[in-house]
Amino acid sequence: MRWTGLFMYLAVVAVLTLFLHSLADWAWWVTLLLIVLLLPVALVIGFMTRHEVRWSTVLSYLSVAALLGAVAAQVAGATAARDWCLLIWSALLLAVAIGCSSHPMRRPAWGLFVGFWGVVGVLWLVVIQALAVAGVLGGASYTWWAAWPLALIGIWFLVASATGFGARPFGPIIDSLGLLTGAAFIAITLMTWTDLAELRRVVGVVAAASYSLWVLGLGWALWVLESPAENRDGFRSHPVPSSANA
């Protein structure tokens, strides 16, 4: 969880750099200079507020807002707004992917391995969305390239929810939604590879709905885990018993 702030800052830097360069027409060297000057300030502020704000929960909820904004823009036919919302969502998705690592698991080493590739998938998706906003990727090529990182992310959500299913404070309802979200992400990839466009749209709606509901519960669980120990005695997490001890 300590790396959440760093990854999120780098993702925000990427989004702001693209925004200032493409919309505000700032030169690359001016943008990079601004980032270098603001980096120490951002790190100090993040360090000072690390115990005051549940950043994992806040950023996770913001990712839901960004995804719903992308869905609304898609319905309204605003392609540019949709691409920007998806770029912001993919950046905020880092908080969700990293936050899943706090889920109790039966095989932590396996979870750490899959979680690493899940975070790589999110970073890959950020790059894909940035290229889409810049107009480099579009149409079928964008859909095909975006399918690969979605598969990695979906596998990570499945592993995190399945290997520690029902562990407190997550519980079976939150983990069931996590399984549904992971399966929906993987289904989007499969529908893309098999060129089933109509079915992919239906699965995309299911993925957006399940992700939103899941992250609402996940954010609450992360809030409990980040609370002081004396305030969460009733929700203290317990190791998930392995099948060998059953």
Give the Cα separation of 135 and 70 in Å (integer).
17
Give the Cα separation of 60 and 222 in Å (integer).
10
- Per residue in 169-224, pLDDT (tens digit) is 888 999 999 999 999 999 999 999 888 888 988 999 999 999 999 999 988 888 88
Give the Cα separation of 96 and 215 in Å (integer).
8
DSSP code, position 102: G
Predicted local confidence at residue 245, as pLDDT: 46
Alpha helices in 100-231 (DSSP H): 108-133, 139-163, 171-193, 197-226
E strand or H helix at 168 = none
- Per residue in 94-111, pLDDT (tens digit) is 888 888 888 877 777 777
- Per residue in 26-73, pLDDT (tens digit) is 555 555 555 565 555 555 555 555 454 466 788 889 899 999 999 998
Give the Cα separation of 24 and 34 in Å (integer).
14
Give the Cα separation of 112 and 220 in Å (integer).
22
Give the Cα separation of 240 and 198 in Å (integer).
40
Give the Cα separation of 152 and 145 in Å (integer).
12
Give the Cα separation of 82 and 70 in Å (integer).
4
Give the Cα separation of 43 and 139 in Å (integer).
38
Domain ranges of the chain: 56-227
Length of the chain: 246
